Structure formats: structure tokens, C-alpha cells
């Protein structure tokens, strides 16, 4: 794990912290941090609601990034109280649709392993094959 990955894990953990909403719904069980090509770091938390109305921490971090008119992600990490976890398919797809260059961003998939989004999404329909 390099220093930037450590910084991103700290940033993602800083927003982690589940709290309850109405009924069995909650927010904050997952935190995410992304770094843009300009070096900015944006964070987000998941919102777990019923009927598919919630969203992942990665999507929240991407929304924060977009609010600042940035689109190019170079690194991403998501964490829960159990450690680093890879982004779901929906978040992987979102990253590519926001900016095709994101296909080459580094994604932490565990505490000690990173992969490119390209490796996680081979033969993506928006990106030419190598």
C-alpha cells in the first residue's frame, strides 16, 4: 500500500459511521474516497434505503467531485467497519460513464491489492479494446 492509498483510507474512514434513519434504514455503513487527476480528494457515505432509493458511498463521492466540476478519477477506495471492499458493478459503471479516462484509475479491492477499473470491467462498451 502506498502513501496515497493510506491517505484515501483515512479519508474514507473519517466519514464512516453508521447511524439509523426511519425504520431499518441507515446511512454511513460504507465510506468512500476518490482522488482526482488534479489531486483533490472527495468523500461520500452510503445511504441504505428501501426500494432501491439509496446509493453507494462511491456514488456520493462522485457527486461531490462533480459538484466541483471534476470528472477524472485516478484512485478510489471504499471501506466498511470490516475494511476495504471493491465497488459494486453499478459504481464501476458510473465511474466510466462520468469520464472514459476513469477506466484506468486505480481501485483498491482489498487492504493490500489495487486493480485498474479496466481490469474490473474488461471489454467495456464505452472504451475501445486494447
Q: What is the pLDDT of residues 95-123, one digit of tens each?
A: 999 999 999 999 999 999 999 999 999 99
In a domain, 113, yes or no: yes
Cα–Cα dist 39/85, whole Å = 22
Domain holding 73, by residue range, is 3-120
- pLDDT for 58 equals 98
Confidence of residue 67 (pLDDT cuts 50, 70, 90): very high
DSSP classification of residue 60: H
Give the count of beta carbons closer than 10 Å to the beta carbon of residue 83.
11
Output helix, strand, coil percentages for the chain, rounded to the nearest 5: 35, 30, 35
In the chain, the percentage of residues whose pLDDT exceeds 90 is 91
Whether 62 shows a pLDDT value over 60: the answer reads: yes
With contact defined as beta carbons under 8 Å apart, do 98 and 127 qualify? Answer: no
The answer as to whether 37 is a domain residue is: yes
CATH number where 72 lies: 3.40.140.10
Whether the Cβ atoms of residue 84 and residue 56 lie closer than 8 Å to each other? no
Mean pLDDT of the 19-32 span: 95
Does 128 reside within a domain? no
Residue 125 lies in a domain: no
Domain-embedded: residue 130:
no
Please state, in angstroms and rounded to a whole number, the distance separating the CA atoms of residues 83 and 66: 26
Split into its structural domains, the chain has a count of 1
Q: Is a pLDDT exceeding 60 seen at residue 130?
A: no
> Does some domain include residue 79?
yes
Amino acid at each position: 500500500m502506498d502513501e496515497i492509498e493510506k491517505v484515501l483510507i483515512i479519508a474514507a474512514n473519517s466519514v464512516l459511521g453508521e447511524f439509523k434513519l426511519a425504520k431499518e434504514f441507515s446511512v454511513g455503513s460504507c465510506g468512500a474516497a476518490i482522488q482526482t487527476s488534479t489531486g483533490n480528494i472527495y468523500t461520500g457515505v452510503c445511504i441504505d434505503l428501501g426500494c432501491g432509493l439509496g446509493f453507494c458511498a462511491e456514488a456520493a463521492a462522485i457527486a461531490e467531485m462533480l459538484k466541483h466540476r471534476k470528472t477524472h478519477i485516478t484512485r478510489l477506495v471504499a471501506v466498511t467497519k470490516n475494511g476495504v471492499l471493491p465497488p459494486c458493478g453499478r459504481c464501476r459503471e458510473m465511474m466510466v460513464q462520468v469520464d472514459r479516462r476513469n477506466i484506468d484509475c486505480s481501485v483498491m479491492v482489498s487492504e493490500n491489492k489495487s486493480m485498474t477499473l479496466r481490469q474490473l470491467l474488461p471489454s467495456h462498451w464505452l472504451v475501445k479494446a486494447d
